[in-house]
Chain A
Amino acid sequence: MWWLNQAVGLVVKVFLLPFTGLNPWAGMIFISLLTAVLMLFIYKKTSNQNGIKEAKNLIKGYMLEIRLFQNDFGVFLGGLKRLFSANLRYLAYNLKPLLVMIVPIFLLLAQMNLWFGYQVQQPGETLLLKVEFNQAVEVDRLDLEVEAPPGVLVDSPPVRIIDGKEVDWRLKIVELRGGQLVIKNGGEKYAKDISLPQSKLARVSAIRVNQNIWEQLLNPGEKPLPREAEIKKIEVVYPAARLNLFGLKIHWLVAYFVLSIIFGFGLKGWFKVEI
């Protein structure tokens, strides 16, 4: 899983690297445009274009029927039934391209969250470091220590939440350097990236997870923890980022879907794709 995440991550990084110094909207527009082109291509290659065209024509025809015969209840009901059936047919034609696209889209979204999901921090601000342990671990008996990279201070003693199997620290940013935190548990050492970029758009990995496949899919930023580790998850809680649209704060996912749809519909004529 880690190799796949790395490969997708590398592709996304190559595409977004030119935009790191610009407003995040630039990178978002570019990646949405790219996605729209890619999806149109996949859609065209994997879908039954003639079937979709036919289903859409039928939908239009039945809608006209409903409108024309709205005073004849029998015909009206029959038209509704046929419209419903044509819609199902249309959806069925979309199922195959959807199934093909869902995997790359999911991998892409997980990577995009690393770039657009977290706010860039400033010196003087604080972050929460959360370390979650396996159920069998008694956290109050652990000999824990956190080593921070230059530019980051461990700003509080640990808060051990016994029944939650969690230990938290407060980190203070002194300089925007970033690096790796090292969590020492007895003789074991586990590293966690801490990303403190100076650029407006940067890749920030918030969570390092264990070997659970689903968790790895959702959090592709770092190599998973070793299988034998007592630690389940290490998280640096960065504040969520929002894209600013004339004062309106928009979640990146909303912006991405809206832009992708706009680009998709805008470009479908060029690519001669029937959607």
Chain B
Amino acid sequence: MTKEKEDSSLSRRRFLELILSTSAGLAFFPKTGFLTTKGRRQTARKVLVLGFDGLDPILTAELMKDNRLPNFKKLAASGSFLPLGSSIPPQSPVAWANFITGTDPGGHAIFDFVHRDPGNYMPIFSASESLPGKHEIKLGDLILPLSGGKINNLRRGRAFWQILEDYDIPATVFKIPSNYPPVESKQKTFSGMGTPDIKGYYGLFNFYTNEYKTITEEYGGGGRVHDVFVIGNRVESRIPGPNNPFKKGNPETFVDFKVFIDPVHPVAKIAYQNQEFILKEKEWSGWKKIKFDFIPGQGVSGICLFYLKEVRPKFKLYVSPINIDPADPALPLSTPDSYSKELARKFGPFFTKGLPADTAALENEVLDENEFLTQDELVYQESVAILEDELKTFRSGLLFYYFSNTDQRQHMFYRFLDKDHPAYDEKMAAEFAPVIPRTYEEMDKVLQMCLEKIDSQTAVMVMSDHGFNPYRWGFNLNTWLLQTGYHYLLPGSRPEEVTLFQQTDWSRTKAYGVGLNALYLNLKGRESQGIVSTAEREALTRHLANQLEQLVDPRTGEKVILKAYISREVYHGPYVDLAPDIILGFNRNYRISWNSPLGNFPRELIEDNRQKWSGDHMSSPAVIPGSLISSLPVKLSDPALQDVTAGLLSLFGIKIPPEVTGRSIF
């Protein structure tokens, strides 16, 4: 069997193991030295930027009109409130990378949540890569690494706080997405979206039950169901941890635990390692530490939440994804290293996983809506507490602070705002439709706290990376390519059973879709089995883009794709060649389907989205701009994310470097 065939026949499970097991680098990631932040310049002006992910300008304007966001209104009245042009595509990692670097994806090389390896067409994470150590000694089943693994941030271009550092202007940047691992800097930074859990996943919860339940372990996350037995009021099981880099085959590590259930009362004691605690039914544990041992003296520690969902008649225990312990980080979380430990010392354990709220648990009905909100409220409370403390020490330079709640709750609760959504439920909507507006009100309270604590020298900006719209229908891009003759499967294949392009006939295939908005040509010289010549490329790209833009959903009569962007026309910078050939800008209410991004070929071209993940932002950026509310008047009428970056630099009197393509908003 050739190497290519071996690769293409990888099982989904093996594929996940291969690309997600960053644990090889867990024990030995090279730590950056203790970096000091002293000796920084005292700036006359201070700038506070609040990043509310997915804050939609239309909904914000409506709520401001209804006087439900008094502090947003106050801020807007003192300066400006404008829609903020998002990235192409308006996905969070791409959009925040635009803001971080002041460029478009051609300048920072993040084009989608998911990229592809042109060598084997397999999806890969766009944000970071984990490389195991190069040298090791094998002693039987034991592997002794002689050099540390490496985790690389794949975002290119300089971050704005690195530019500020050149001018000795201090900055604290808390949980900005697209900064994992945090790029080297003497500024105080903490990584955000893109930070994995301790297994190297974007979040893998565990659910222990004696009820029949299935959960799909998704690309990069999801959850696992563990079938357990209640014998003599006792449950015994294990919590999976990272793969063991010291053992041959890198087997998964585990921590055994026991649950002792009272024979009558709905209460139980959970015991593992040196920890014992009691939970009543429907109670959260608060953060608990957990240690996974590789070999004596080597291991990693994480933190997790336990939730005793039900004791009887069925036993149900949820264990959150195991976050990296900020007090003893197994993977790099902050610059300097000491920053995460300092926060842990002040606040105890807190969420470190990039997208903290467990949307997969809600999607899989492991947590219900209220339970999910309880968890996300903890995220909010932690964020507010840390922000309050940062404001106390904010004396100079820039403070950027990120909140994920707006994004996560809109993803999961949009179905209650949209009566035409396939997953709309009138009864539930009565209870949960207020969740999104209420979340905006919580953000208004955050702004209020900030306005009360800052001085008159501080410029304040509230910004978001994109807006939101309903995700009613999913488009199967690869099915469309198959139907229109751009993609071919091997004879005898059943399209709906194909996953990860395992049955693709690359010798006839001209195009394929990987990721959430990306279409690639099977280009000769770039893809390992490419057939499209350079001469053919231009015409084929235009033809495909035209066809996609003409595509109409017969059920609604609406266009599915508002704009198919040709990357070489809309991107600028040194990394344009790495970009997908076409970026799909979906129409309002449409998005890529759940199965197409990973090389699957579902039967229907357009599917109803009946999932709880019901709001999204994969549309054309014109449909869902972000929001910008500034205490200083904005001079541009159509500002975009990279213009805010240029504006920030100009507020500190810094000449905008040539690699920043944005125009100053001030």
Contact = CB atoms under 8 A, between A and B. Distances in A.
Interface in A150-178: 156-164, 168-170
Given A162-B232, A162-B233, A163-B232, A157 B262 contact: yes
Contact of A161 (B264, B269, B280, B341): B269
A128 B232 contact: no
A168 B269 contact: yes
B278 A159 contact: yes
Given A128-B276, A168-B278, A169-B278, A159 B265 contact: yes
B232 A157 contact: no
A237 interface: yes
B544 interface: no
Interface in B262-279: 262-265, 267-269, 276-278
B260 A159 contact: yes
A106 B280 CA distance: 40
Contacts of A158: 262, 265, 267
A273 to B, nearest CB: 37
Nearest to A237: B276
Contacts of A156: 267, 278, 280
Interface string B256-298: 0000111111011100000011101000000000000000000
A215 interface: no
B341 A159 contact: no
Contacts of B232: 162-163
Q: At the interface, is chain B mostly helix, strand, loop or mixed?
A: strand
B341 A157 contact: no
A161 B264 CA distance: 11
28 contacts: A128-B269, A128-B277, A128-B278, A140-B263, A156-B280, A157-B262, A157-B265, A158-B262, A158-B265, A159-B260, A159-B262, A159-B268, A159-B269, A159-B278, A160-B262, A160-B263, A161-B233, A161-B234, A161-B269, A162-B233, A162-B263, A163-B232, A163-B234, A168-B269, A168-B278, A170-B277, A170-B278, A247-B341
A163 to B, nearest CB: 6
Contacts of A170: 277-278
Given A158-B262, A160-B262, A162-B263, 7 more contacts: A157-B262, A159-B265, A159-B267, A161-B233, A168-B260, A170-B277, A170-B278
A98 to B, nearest CB: 30
Nearest to B338: A247
Interface string A234-270: 0001000000000100000000000000000000000
Interface in A194-241: 237
Interface string B549-568: 00000000000000000000
Centre residue among B234, B276, B278, B280 by max chain A CB count within 10 A? B278
Contacts of A159: 260-262, 265, 267-269, 278
By Cβ-Cβ distance, the 4 closest A-B pairs, closest first, are: A157-B265, A170-B278, A159-B269, A159-B262
Nearest to A155: B278
Interface string B409-431: 00000000000000000000000
